[in-house]
Structure 1
Amino acid sequence: GGGFNLFTPEQDIQLGQQVAQQIADDPAQFPVLPEKGNEEAYAYIRKIRDKILNTGNVAFKDQFAWEVKIIKDDETLNAFCTPGGHIYVYTGLIKFLDSEDQLAGVMGHEIAHAAQRHSTRQMTKIYGLSALASIATGSAEPGMLEQVALGLINLKFSRTHETEADTYSVIYLCGTDYHANGAAGFFRKMEGQPTPPEFLSTHPNPGNRVENIDAKAKEMNCRGTKSYDAEYQRIKSKL
């Protein structure tokens, strides 16, 4: 679902590597939390990622990177995932949430964008076929791939893709011990914010989001009830 894609999964991987490199090269805009001294937080967030990947419901599980980085920015309520599965979660989002199942829900949503290849579908739509054909065949102007990669970080998903990512978040979490509607907790909480969080600038609300997530979890008869609140608070206090 969600439109035509001119890119191959291999190109999703290449683009993701390009974006990850640009992020690594720009610590002013993307202050990635160093692994050293933050081993526990990284182990924690990777454990959540692994639970989702191990459900067997994530496309390209073995092909894409599924690398997680934490961005040290307490003011920003955001997370994003590049094509090819480089996942970035802001400390602002981690601190805003109440429980592990909520974070798992958001991570599931981000993983879905990469696994369902939403970014490159969206780019196929935006850049037009001729520009993309030249990238796809390697005959583009030098620097074109870098330009495209830069645009990816601020790429706005369609509402259709948002709905699909919400649905997959439930499908993924349904295969774990978490509440499958974990993402609904995040969106419910976000609705109470005086200013719209950064997340919404690239992830537009498709409408009835919370209701649809709750309904999907119910329809799938998901059994998970874990939220690991105490453990979550402990990790939050370390960031």
Structure 2
Amino acid sequence: MKNSLAYPIWIIALVCTFLMSSCESNEGVIFSPQDDIKLGQQVAHEVDSTYQAKGQLLNRTSTNANVQQAYASLDRIVNRILNSGEIKYRTEFPWTVNIINDDETLNAFATPGGHIYVYTGLIKFLENEDHLAGVLAHEIAHADRRHSVRQLQRDYGIAILLSVALGNDPGTLKQIAAQLGGTLAGLKFSRDAESEADAYSVRYLGGTNYYACDGAAGFFIQLNQQAQQGTPPEFLSTHPNPDNRIENIQRKAQQEGCKITSAADTDFKELKAAISKL
């Protein structure tokens, strides 16, 4: 009789190999960082294709001067964080950042392996560069601390994720991309993961010696004010709000003894001006 298992035997063998390896150095993830990269490449390709089809992904190769300016400004902000000396997988992950032209969505998200996406709605909503840096640092932490792949591992199982990473499960790939992009219910991180991402955002921004290391707190203050006026922004829907989040970020900044004075808004202003002309 033909084997009725849902996955080929070679995938099961791969799963067994991963299960036998130690997880202690992998942040509790059975996947290796190299598999984060493979999975992230597949998911990022699907996300890119989805938003390109909608005409919403700002293409980095565009000859539009405003698009070029937007990415030049955004890259300077992101690179200050990545070069903070605090990113564990700084050299392993590709660390790309893309802009989705959707003014109605106040959100950002990260795939495994370091692909970051931010919506124009969030950029236009924010008030200063420290707040945007706080959002980006938070999303970088989700990838660098491997929260995305850990949650996907729980939601889908190892065998399915391995199949997706190898390009053998396009249906699940589309579902994962839609979850991360918020077009479905969103990838729901645990409160522990959210708290860790907040704490590491402080460390990352502190390492820049440029941004206020509690920049994420200002971002959440502004989000909470928006939430009190009506429907909670997408970011709070896809990123559960741990108790005392703002206070915890500010307390972490005090413990770290890092800079809490505001940085110049030069790149942020150039970024906002560029996307306002699209």
TM-score scaled by length of structure 2:
0.78
Q: Report whether the alignment pairs 1:184 with 2:217.
A: yes
- Pairing 1:111-122 to 2, within 5 Å after superposition: 111-122=140-151
Q: Report whether the alignment pairs 1:92 with 2:121.
A: yes
SS in 1 for 2:103: coil
- Pairing 1:58-97 to 2, within 5 Å after superposition: 58-97=87-126
Of residues 202-211 and 22-31 in structure 1, the stretch that sits farther from structure 2 once superposed is 22-31
Shift of 1:44: 1.0
Equivalent position of 1:232 in the other structure:
268
| The structure with more helix, counted as a fraction of residues | 2
Equivalent position of 1:32 in the other structure:
57
Of residues 226-235 and 177-186 in structure 1, the stretch that sits farther from structure 2 once superposed is 226-235
SS in 1 for 2:232: coil
Partner AA of 2:202 in structure 1: V
Q: State the distance in 2 between where 1:198 and 1:118 align.
A: 19
Query: Deviations for 1:119-146, whole angstroms, at most 9, x for unmatched residues?
Result: 11112222245645x64996x9644662
SS in 2 for 1:61: coil
Structure 1 residues 231 and 123 mapped into 2: Cα distance closer, same or farther (>3 Å)?
closer
Residue among 218, 223, 230 paired with 2:254: 218
Q: Report whether the alignment pairs 1:5 with 2:29.
A: yes
Equivalent position of 2:44 in the other structure:
20
Shift of 1:217: 0.6
Residue among 222, 234, 257 paired with 1:198: 234
- Pairing 1:170-181 to 2, within 5 Å after superposition: 170-176=202-208, 177-181=210-214
Alpha-carbon contact 1:79-1:93 (below 8 Å) kept:
yes
Of residues 77-86 and 28-37 in structure 1, the stretch that sits farther from structure 2 once superposed is 28-37
TM-score scaled by length of structure 1:
0.89
Q: State the distance in 2 between where 1:70 and 1:130 align.
A: 31
Residue among 34, 46, 49 paired with 2:78: 49
Among the aligned pairs, what percent are the same residue?
A: 49
Aligned residues: 237
SS in 2 for 1:88: strand
Alpha-carbon contact 2:142-2:148 (below 8 Å) kept:
yes
Q: Report whether the alignment pairs 1:164 with 2:212.
A: no
Q: State the distance in 1 between where 2:247 and 2:260 align.
A: 18
Equivalent position of 2:19 in the other structure:
none
Alpha-carbon contact 1:85-1:115 (below 8 Å) kept:
yes
SS in 2 for 1:80: strand
CA-atom RMSD in angstroms: 2.5
Instruction: Give the unaligned 5+ runs of structure 2.
Output: 1-23, 181-185
